[in-house]
Structure 1
């Protein structure tokens, strides 16, 4: 009888040990922005080669989708790091805090958001005001706010191509979509006197107009897969697509970026602020997982090394616009010390 009890106890212990082993994770899991994905993947691959740690798994879920997964809780079933092509929202930060997640924020560089079309088509030369007129749900016409009436680019301005407005872009969960709406559409909305006045009177009402994208087929949600957008643009030279500069840079043999407010989307123009549709890129680290999942601290160190994110680091070959050297010093120091983000 004693032998049976001992055997059962040993067996139960083995089951618990096996379950614990199954729950443990020896590989960093990263989710988030499709724009930061190629940079994060490049660092992950280099990290796997240069260290004894396993190569981190990087998934492209979109900034919003990544934040949702990241902030859901602590434990190996949740990701360790999330990439974002915009800063964390206060609502997301509150969700993280509520679920016991403390965060280190790492700003890694800049990216431009481009409106691009196939090289076989006519290159577009647009203003932010025209972009707003093309894509907003409602626009001012003769002093009144009406449902967007523009079907062709030439309806907005006779100097623009006589082509149907068709723009392929990311869904609402995408940081690229968030940034495009804020930088391009809101920037264009401010050019109308009536909307500029509304902004002074009621910012919430202004944003409701400035951020609402038309839903009549002119804007086509094409998912988070930028490769698919490029394929569709090649098939339809009259269409435009929205994605990050780094992706334009990698596909410059197939697509061309539109000029916006007189500036081309180039590395130099984005770096010096000349190109007005650009944003900061980030990743966020779950401090509770450091020391639990091996290699997180070392991965952060690798990403913020000059060989990676510096002026001549390998990430510039992927299209990353580096932070100024002084900012890299301060951001890198805070990242390597895993300083806690407080909003």
Structure 2
């Protein structure tokens, strides 16, 4: 039997939160649900209090200063306070399906497995949200990797070394052993207001032995609506490049501390970081920085790096 803590960051989620919580409560494996209220401007705090009063499995947490610190900091508070053997994550506007932990029940019988992930589906809750989502992500209704993998294969796939694997799986589909998170001191980068989940997943896939679970059908659903932050960032806009720069800066700083990380991967991470750093600049400064960096690092002349570095802001 799995004993699971579900961590739910809550910010302006009054419309969706109860459905998310009930979707977690349907699973006997879920022993506690941590609602980390992040200074919402709607009635989310009152709803959290109500839910916690009605069910002994539900706990309301706030940051020490009761301020707004973002999803990364909220999830870190959840990691700090969680008491169960396993950790799962859920966004307040998403929900679990009945098969959410089916693969975990079997896969965690293997002691070397430290984390399991699956596929997430999409539910469009508004026409505006649907339009913005499809404009940015095209056809995507099922976010998943393309074939089964485990251990180093997962990290290599997410880094693009294993062609066709897919560069992302959703945090809502991840279940991981709490002791291994603590042992490896894994945390979300609180400086990242967007992409902190992607950053966390890639680093985790390096440090822990992850295995794909159900990847051909959804184990959770993300709700797409008018206020999804990720869809508000226009592709190749100045905000887009700034967010990507911060993501790869985080990954680059982390990579320099990993002695066992291959030199090739370290170089790849560094080049992506440099490309996005250049992309955040404008005018003559951008081109001058690109040329001077290319003199010492000719790989930046390759199409993929040159495209990122020199793409004009829209």
Please give the range of the TM-score, normalised by the shorter of the 2 chains: under 0.3
Larger Rg: 1
Higher relative contact order (CA 8 A, sep 6+): 1
Normalising by structure 1, we get a TM-score of 0.21
